[in-house]
């Protein structure tokens, strides 16, 4: 099929990109922060875009959300409190609420329209998590929340998740070494930070830069990589912490913890995928070498 006006196209860098057939446009518009679109696509069902970039879809969200959450969270003995910056689609919150010890998830989303879109159009992404009584939803600036609101309350978190757009525009300040340090101050003794890094093939310099910024702040920085269909590429994520290191878990340990915690309905994540995500090919070892 030719790439034409019937396709949604996204650039991965100035030399490459990918496309999907559009299907039906459900809603589009502008908020004070960004342009949005919701499509019903032949490949992935309901699909959400911001400023022309694919964010999430019904058909493949589990590739992203399960790995962003479970890779760090399964390594924690009993995660009780989590903070999500961004993540207004509710997919990360949905995965966190699978942990029986989870008492509260604070979700700080800049754009209220993102949450409205998820509630109206993306129920198979959040699965009711946006209305879970354990969710503390804050429509606020994540930078201000981390630097001022949370420190003033004295609250500490077992996991902080940066479920953000790419590090450009409004999100750029949330990928700095200074912001990572601000997040670290909000973590409990065995807490961890989880975030996505980008596509190592197409955005290799960005991925290496973010890993180095994390290493300047945390003792253990654990990059892990997964193919995300909607993003059209191998995609990097990282768990950063001072004491917690998910690389030490064996596949059997991961599977045993999933059973003990009665975490079910996972479409991607298991003990083998956990271990495999940290097995880096040589080009990534070289790119990410300290």
Catalytic residues: 163
Q: What whole-number distance in Å separates Cα of residue 168 and Cα of residue 189? A: 31
Count of C-beta atoms within a 10 Å radius of residue 8: 19
Name the pairing type of β-strands 81-86 and 104-109: parallel
Count of C-beta atoms within a 10 Å radius of residue 10: 15
User: Which run of H or E residues covers position 210?
Assistant: helix 204-215
The residue written with tokens 């953000």 in the block is 164
CA angle 186–88–126, rounded 5-degree value: 110
Q: What whole-number distance in Å separates Cα of residue 146 and Cα of residue 187? A: 11
Q: Whose CA is closest to 146, among 191, 100, 118, 179?
A: 179
Q: Whose CA is closest to 133, among 105, 155, 156?
A: 105
Encoded tokens for 155: 């609250």
CB 264 within 8 A of CB 285: no
CB 163 within 8 A of CB 84: yes
């Amino acid at each position: 099929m030719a790439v034409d006006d019937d396709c949604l196209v996204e650039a991965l860098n100035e030399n490459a990109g990918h496309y999907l057939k559009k299907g039906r446009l459900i809603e589009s518009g502008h908020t004070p922060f960004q342009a949005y679109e919701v499509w019903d696509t032949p490949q992935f069902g309901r699909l959400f875009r911001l400023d022309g970039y694919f964010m999430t879809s019904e058909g493949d969200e589990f590739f992203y959300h399960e790995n962003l959450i479970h890779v760090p969270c399964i390594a924690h003995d009993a995660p009780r409190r989590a903070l999500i910056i961004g993540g207004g689609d509710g997919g990360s919150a949905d995965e966190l609420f699978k942990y029986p010890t989870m008492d509260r998830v604070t979700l700080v989303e800049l754009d209220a329209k993102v949450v409205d879109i998820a509630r109206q159009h993306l129920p198979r992404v959040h699965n009711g998590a946006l209305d879970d009584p354990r969710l503390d939803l804050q429509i606020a600036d994540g930078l201000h929340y981390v630097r001022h609101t949370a420190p003033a309350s004295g609250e500490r978190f077992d996991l902080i998740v940066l479920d953000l757009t790419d590090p450009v525009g409004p999100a750029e300040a949330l990928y700095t070494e200074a912001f990572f340090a601000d997040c670290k101050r909000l973590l409990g003794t065995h807490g961890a930070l989880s975030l996505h890094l980008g596509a190592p093939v197409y955005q290799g310099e960005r991925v290496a830069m973010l890993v180095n910024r994390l290493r300047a702040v945390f003792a253990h920085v654990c990059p892990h990589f997964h193919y995300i269909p909607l993003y059209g590429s191998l995609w990097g994520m990282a768990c950063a912490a001072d004491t917690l290191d998910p690389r030490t878990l064996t596949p059997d340990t991961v599977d045993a913890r999933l059973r003990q915690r009665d975490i079910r309905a996972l479409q991607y994540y298991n003990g083998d995928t956990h271990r495999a995500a940290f097995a880096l090919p040589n080009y990534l070892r070289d790119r990410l070498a300290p």
